[in-house]
Each structure stands twice: as C-alpha cells, then as structure tokens.
Structure 1
Amino acid sequence: MNTEPLSTSADQQAMRFGLFANFENPGGGSCAEALRESMLTVQHAERLGFAEAWITEHHFNPFSVSAAIFPLLSYLAAATTTIRLGSAAVLLPIRDILQVAEDAATVDALSGGRLLLGVARGGPFPLQFQHFGVDQATSRERLLEGALLLEKLLTEENVDFDGRYYRYQQVSIYPRPRQSRIPIWLAALSPESIALAATRGYGLMGASAAPVEKLHTALASYRARAAQTAPPFVLSRYFFAPNIGARRSTPPCPSSAISPATWARQSNAPRKADRRNCRSASKPKRLPRHASWRTPSSATSRNVWIKSGHCTMRWVRIP
C-alpha cells in the first residue's frame, strides 16, 4: 500500500477518477438510511476500481447529512482497504484546528495512510457561521492561517504558533499520521489562496460551479509559482444518470452542464431518435432513489461511472 502523498511525476501525468459522496437524503427520508446508502456507494466504488472517494462537510442541511466528516471517514477507513479517502472539504474557519489535526492524524493512521485532506472556508452559507459563532467576514483569513497551523501540527512536534486567530506553544498531537506529509488541498481560488497553496505545496480544488475560464486563470497562476511535487488539481463536475434499463422517449439532459450530444454519448441513450430529442432541461426537483450501476468499459473509457437515478459528481485530478 502506498502510504506517501501522490506527488510522483507518474501520478501527476495520469487523470485519476473518484467519487464525490455528498451523503444525500432526497425527500427528507431516514438519515440513517441515507448514511448507510452512501457508505455502500463508496464500498462499491472501491470494488469497481475507483481511486478516491471524497466526502463533503455540510451543516444544518437536511439534504446533505454529512456534518460529522471525520466519523464518516473513520467508518470508511474500516470498511475499505485500497480506495483513498478525501475530505471535500473540512471547514477550517468554524473548527478547532487542534481537533482537526488530531482527527486527521487518527483517520490517516487507521486507514494505513490513505487520507487526502481538503480544507475550505465554508461557502455562502451564513447559518454555518452564525450557529458556530464565527464572523463570516474573517473566514478567508481563518482558512489561510488555519491551514498553516494544521500543516505544522501534522508534520512537526512541539509546535509554536503565533497568529491572529490561533496561538500555541510547544504543542504536539497524537497519534502521529501514517503519512510523513498528508497532502492538503485548498478549496479556494482567490489570489491569496492560490499564492499560499503554491508556496506551501498545497493542491487546489475546483468547485463544480466554477467557470472553465476562471479555472484556467487560477491554474496558470498556480503553476507559475508551484513546486513540481505539488498535488494535482482536483476538479468536480455533475452528471445526471437516469434509471438504467428504463426505456424513455426523451432521456433527461443535465441542464447546461454538458451538451446534449455529449450527454447522449456518455449515457448510451438507446436510440438515435432519443438523442435527437434530447434538449437542455432544468434539473428535476426530486430524483428517485438509485437502482443499479454501470461500470466503465475500461480504465480509459469516455463513459462516466453512473449511480442510477442520482446526480453524481466525478472528481478528476488534472496534472
């Protein structure tokens, strides 16, 4: 088992595919069942050969019930053996950084060095900051300072840190992580975030809604500063998958995320007439529970993996 960060040239030259686990609970059903289904989804993705599974952190959200990201990752560390487990992402501004470091090190040790650590500000969700008692206006500063402290705690002992928001003297966390350096990603594309990521060797994560032009600009700025061993870029995109095996006169299209022609190719729509009739449409208000799976025909297949009846994201690493 590889217990070191994915920083070799061979890793950076290849696109790696993973699963984005949002722990969705459409329709407000049983949260316990939603958690169980998502866990089974990640286990199945491992059997299909996917390289990574990335877990979200959302709070006060009845649709995405992944508030306790490290317990979820710990469960998956025990329930899987090879798939790498990522946080997408830990919301540092509302967290105790010492606790995050201890939790991350514990998951990394339990998983045999499979943790991929993404961190973020918290997005445009005022309730998260309000209920955790954090001024949202300080979230970017807290994220960047917290990332520096987190890195030191995971790689050093007897840490001294004197920042604006965090101050510690001679602190060491235990257990120590399995990896000598857990790879860290910033889910942020501001100039300050890009500069810090490039300087410290963090990776960047591109959000699903980020325009391609913004991603190109951010990557150009990052690559102009980053070291050769920096983690590869991580990008998420949505795909909608209809129930496999069901005959439809007009297969649904995933709004404007991809063109109808591309959708027809990726979904293997059964008839030419169906593909011609495929039109851009708004996302359905409610999606059915998943029913079945389709596996990519090969490691280089253009088909995306499909969880039937759900909006699924794919996370790909771009060198």
Structure 2
Amino acid sequence: MMDFQSLAAIPALADSLPEADAEARAAAARRQDSLTKPPGSLGRLEELALFMAAWRADPRPRIGRAQAVVFAGNHGICAQGVNPYPQAVTAQMVANFEAGGASINQLCRVNGAALSVVALELDRPTADFTEGPAMTEAETLEAMARGAAAVDPGADVLVLGEMGIGNSTIAAALAAALFGGAVPDWVGPGTGSDAEGLARKVSAIERGLARHRGLRPMQVLAALGGREQAAICGAVLAARSHRIPVILDGFICTAAAAPLYAADPRLLDHCLVGHVSAEPGHRRLLEALKKQPVLAFDMRLGEGSGAALALGILRAALECHNGMATFGEAGVSEA
C-alpha cells in the first residue's frame, strides 16, 4: 500500500512512479500496421490498444481482471442548501450498490468488472468549506490511503466512480480553484438543482474560493474537496504504481483527480476519461486536462457508469488488436 506522508510530497511522485513503456507501445504499433485492415482504419480503437500496451508493458495486453471501485462520502457544504436531495441518500445508494440494484452494477456485470463500494465516514461529513477547510491534511491523507488500499494490484484496468450528495458542488469548486474562470461556467444541475439551487451553488463556491486563496493543488483538494475525491486521488496513484490504467468517470470523478494533474500533469498520464458528462463544466475541464473522452452519451449519473460503459469499448479495442489476423497469417496481399 502506498504511504502518503504529506500533501507537499505528492507532486514529486511523478518522478518515481512507472512511466509508459515505449518499447511495448512501438511493438503494438507494428502489430497494428500488420493487421488485415488499412492502417488507422479502426480509429480510436487502435490508439486505445496502444495506450494499454504502453501502460501494461505488453505489446499484446489483455484484460483478465477489471476492477471497479465506487467511493462514497458526505459533504459539509450541504449546509448551504446546494443539494436537492438529503444526505441520507448517500448511504441509501451505497446499500443499493451493495445489493446490486444500481446502474453501475448492471454496467459492471455486462462489461466484466468486479465492483466494490468504499463508504468513507458517511456519518461524519466534511466541514463546510465556506467556513473553513473541508478537511485537515491528516484527514485528506487518510482518505487517500483508503483509496490506495482499495486497488487490486492484480487488476489489468481500474474503473473509478463516486457517490456523494453535494459533490457536484465540490467538483465545480475544485475545477474553478485549479483552472480559474467564472464560477457559473463550472456549475451545473447535478442531481436536479433548479435556478435557485444553481444560484446557491455559485454563491457557496465563490465564498469558498475567496476564503481559500493561493493554495497549492493538493492543498486545494483538502480545502474544497471531500473524502471520496481524496480517495480517488489515492486510487489513481496506487494504480500507477502497479502500471494499472485507470478509466475515470464523468465531471465529478475527473474533477476529483484534477488536483493531481495540477500538481504535475504526468500523474494522470495513465488515465482515460470514460465519457464527457452532460454537466456543463466537464467539457471545459477535459480541455484543461488535455483529455479526450472515450464516449459522449449525454450521461450525468455518476457512480462510475460512464467509465464502466467505456470499459466495453476498451475490451473491444483489445479484442481487435489481439484477435485479428495479420496479412501474413491470413494470406492477404498488402500491396
């Protein structure tokens, strides 16, 4: 398990964690060029296969075990009326995940991912960031360690998702703090906020940003984030240590990992983004992170649902990469 000593030490991990294997990627590219198809004709599927080859250090990578983890937390910012549903729903949805009744359960089942849910002190929400930091450094590091511990070192790919009433406000606050711009441009309806609810979100975030100025990226995570956001960061780093590619979900999950990118962009090199959310801030965030989503299905459920759906595309990319015949094998002329 990774040992996170301090938030200040996180950026330096980019110098010590494994990097993409250029030789494996080059060998995979040579195989792609020898398959019975015009070069590049499978488009993004080819790039996904090369991505997997590089991070798994294997020219012919396979997904034997796909792990999906949903982290759940509650947030003190809900005291500002930013949430149309009560915080009790977080625990209720965790129970639904555990019983197999949620969307993420069905998507993991059909796309071949083993799902686990990690509830993070749901009875003790973080602090209201309009009044002070949401978490102390110790609380942030503890949540990161919980996230890291949830990662299966034997997995070939990791799908990440979240659950937490109020966390669309957290996501918008993190994005605005890390990348700037007008707060309303980052704020969306989440689970169904009306115009008054959106105004409360904007007001709360603006007050939080005014209170927490001049912080380094990982300090921003502590000041404005939540336990599930910190756990996602910990899981992303642990996956990197084992050369496990990560599929991030939508706006909230991507924003959770954004402090790592802001600390050092290399820390998210092994991450794909499963889809672009219908939440208005997500496309803007993807531009800031220089990430191209796998899918655009107008989804905004969370739970890891878009990432689990993208797993099916990733599997398809590897089936083509590994299963297609080469020109020589098929006796097809390349000329």
More strand by share: 1
More helix by share: 2
Tell me the TM-score normalized by structure 1.
0.32
